[in-house]
């Protein structure tokens, strides 16, 4: 079996494990790392099929969880952006004693619209997958333009687009995770500390999600005004502030 690799940054006593979103890699955490590495020991993850782990093949989310459990330390705080939030919820649900807390950024316990639950239609995610399959880099570039990133910051454009294309199988597994995983019940009953950091203008995670989540006494939830899905790139100082407050309260 090919070796799973990760990067470790910082020497803090508290472990943070960062899980990126669908079709991106760990480069999306660049500003979060710059603001937090002095306080924590950060485990920077490229999921199987992405980045430095592009040569690793998995078949489903269960395979991903097994790899993460084996390679990442216990007593950690897991942070997921977008799809990464579903993955950190999955590992917390399966191995609660491994987890100190979970932080979901621009994510939701359920991405798909249900009765009395805001979300997006499955068709939208199928179309995104189809576009990535046909032309991955054009699709990512268009997404970044919609997020008002591409024209504003050439450094980020180069950082986020200058990488190898993820394996199509990994992108397809990401689609399956988005379409099928639902952690609403887990979020309601778990005793693990949970934080959701959402963006007011996020088109992937509708803002109504915030108003439902904040009614759950098990969940800490904040809504960053005028922030979109890429708030870890544009609103990173506010995101890091909420992360620090949350961790301080669960130590």
Give the Cα separation of 19 and 84 in Å (integer). 5
What tokens appear for 7 in the block? 């990067």
Chain-centre distance for alpha carbon 70: 19
CA distances from 201 to 41, 82, 111, 210 (A): 31, 14, 16, 12
List 20, 163, 229, 242, catalytic entry: 229
Q: What stretches of the chain show up as alpha helix (H) in DSSP?
A: 30-36, 61-71, 83-94, 122-134, 136-146, 154-161, 168-180, 184-189, 208-213, 231-234, 236-250
Q: Residues 25, 46, 182, 202: which is the catalytic one? A: 202
| Residue 46 annotated as catalytic | no
Determine whether 191 is an active site residue: no
Handedness of CA 240, 53, 151, 206 (dihedral sign): negative
CA-to-CA separations, 116 to 104, 188, 194, 204, 205, in angstroms, rounded? 21, 16, 22, 17, 15
Q: Which of 26, 76, 82, 108 is catalytic?
A: 82
Tokens 């660049």 belong to which residue? 30
Q: What span, in angstroms and rounded, lies between the C-alpha atoms of 77 and 58?
A: 24
Contact between 70 and 94 under an 8 Å Cβ cutoff? The reply is no
Q: How far is residue 150's CA from residue 142's CA, in Å, rounded to a whole number?
A: 8
Based on the residue annotation, tell me whether 82 is a catalytic residue of this protein: yes
CA pair distance 175, 171, nearest whole angstrom: 6
Active site residues: 82, 202, 229
């Amino acid at each position: 079996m090919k070796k799973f690799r990760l990067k470790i940054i910082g020497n803090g006593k508290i472990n943070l494990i960062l899980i990126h979103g669908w079709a991106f890699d760990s480069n999306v955490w660049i500003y979060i790392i710059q603001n937090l590495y002095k306080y924590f020991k950060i485990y920077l993850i490229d999921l199987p099929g992405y980045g430095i782990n592009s040569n690793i093949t998995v078949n489903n989310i269960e395979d991903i969880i097994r790899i993460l459990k084996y390679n990442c330390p216990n007593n950690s705080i897991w942070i997921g952006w977008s799809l990464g939030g579903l993955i950190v919820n999955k590992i917390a649900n399966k191995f609660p004693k491994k987890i100190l807390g979970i932080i979901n950024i621009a994510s939701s316990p359920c991405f798909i619209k249900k009765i009395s639950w805001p979300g997006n239609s499955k068709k939208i995610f199928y179309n995104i997958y189809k576009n990535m399959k046909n032309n991955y880099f054009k699709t990512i570039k268009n997404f970044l333009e919609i997020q008002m990133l591409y024209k504003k910051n050439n450094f980020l454009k180069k950082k986020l687009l200058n990488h190898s294309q993820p394996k199509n199988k990994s992108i397809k597994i990401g689609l399956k995770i988005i379409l099928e995983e639902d952690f609403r019940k887990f979020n309601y009953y778990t005793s693990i500390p949970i934080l959701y950091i959402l963006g007011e203008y996020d088109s992937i995670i509708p803002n109504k999600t915030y108003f439902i989540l904040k009614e759950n006494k098990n969940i800490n939830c904040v809504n960053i005004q005028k922030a979109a899905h890429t708030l870890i790139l544009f609103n990173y100082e506010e995101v890091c502030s909420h992360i620090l407050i949350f961790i301080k309260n669960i130590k």
